[in-house]
């Protein structure tokens, strides 16, 4: 049997995406409490994500959303990572308030936000080990959050994933 990499690439990347989600899941969490949610976006949903990014970019007049939307269309998949809000009860002040109970509605617990960053770092390190190209995108994460693909989650980031001969996320030019 002869199997050409070009015909199996998409399936390979989706299988690798499952490993990347596991890397994010097993990353250390503040106080050992897991409030992270993770999902892979592929196929037609990548197009939906790209369109939502364009909508936000035009609405907010942020051209980098349009550039990032083009990148999402070049990805094999994107992985979204977000956190459900849960104050950790440390009264640590990292959120800017002296106590958890003093936080205003909508202000996230800093530990939850840090947990997203650590999960994304673990995911991207694993992707590098698998020789996959990635790009962490605040823009695509915000679009996924507005699409409510991780219900109840805040601080959502998206990681575009590619396995092409040249990283499509590297030489990015600003969109005019």
Could you read off the pLDDT of 132-155 as tens digits, one per residue? Answer: 999 999 999 999 999 999 999 989
Name the pTM for this structure.
0.92
**Which phi and psi angles does 33 have, rounded to 5°?**
-100, 120
Could you report the per-residue pLDDT of 41-65, keeping only the tens digit for each? Answer: 999 999 999 999 999 999 999 999 9
- Average pLDDT of span 15-38: 95
Split into its structural domains, the chain has a count of: 1
Task: Identify whether 119 is part of a domain.
Answer: yes
| Residue recorded with tokens 């990635």 | 134
Q: Please, which pLDDT band fits residue 174 given cuts at 50, 70 and 90?
A: low
Whether the predicted pLDDT of 118 surpasses 70: yes
Task: Identify whether 176 is part of a domain.
Answer: no
Strand ranges (E), 69-110: 77-84
Whether the predicted pLDDT of 86 surpasses 90: no
Average pLDDT taken over every residue of the chain: 93
Q: Which tokens hold the place of 157?
A: 């980031």
| Residues making up the chain, counted from first to last | 176
Task: Identify whether 120 is part of a domain.
Answer: yes
Q: What pLDDT shows up at residue 122?
A: 98
Q: Which tokens hold the place of 35?
A: 């409030």
Q: Please, which pLDDT band fits residue 165 given cuts at 50, 70 and 90?
A: confident
Q: Which residue in 134, 139, 120, 138 sits closest to 51, CA to CA?
A: 139
Task: Identify whether 171 is part of a domain.
Answer: no
Task: Identify whether 173 is part of a domain.
Answer: no
Cα distance between residue 23 and residue 148, in whole Å: 23
| Residue recorded with tokens 């507005």 | 146
Domain assignment of residue 94, given as a range = 5-162
Task: Identify whether 118 is part of a domain.
Answer: yes
Q: H helices within the chain, ranges in order?
A: 5-25, 44-60, 63-74, 110-129, 138-146
The CATH number covering residue 38 comes to: 3.40.109.10
Task: Identify whether 53 is part of a domain.
Answer: yes
């Amino acid at each position: 049997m002869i199997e050409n990499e070009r015909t199996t690439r998409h399936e390979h990347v989706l299988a690798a995406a499952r490993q990347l989600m596991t890397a994010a899941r097993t990353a250390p969490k503040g106080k050992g409490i897991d409030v992270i949610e993770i999902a892979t976006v592929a196929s037609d949903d990548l197009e939906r994500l790209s369109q939502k990014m364009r909508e936000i970019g035009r609405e907010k007049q942020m051209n980098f959303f349009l550039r990032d939307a083009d990148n999402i269309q070049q990805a094999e998949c994107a992985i979204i990572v977000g956190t459900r809000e849960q104050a950790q009860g440390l009264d640590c002040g990292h959120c800017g308030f002296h106590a958890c109970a003093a936080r205003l509605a909508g202000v996230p617990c800093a530990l939850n936000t840090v947990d997203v960053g650590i999960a994304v770092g673990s995911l991207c390190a694993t992707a590098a080990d698998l020789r996959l190209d990635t790009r962490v995108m605040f823009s695509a994460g915000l679009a996924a959050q507005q699409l409510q693909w991780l219900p109840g989650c805040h601080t959502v980031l998206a990681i575009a994933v590619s396995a092409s001969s040249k990283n499509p996320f590297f030489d990015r030019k600003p969109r005019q």
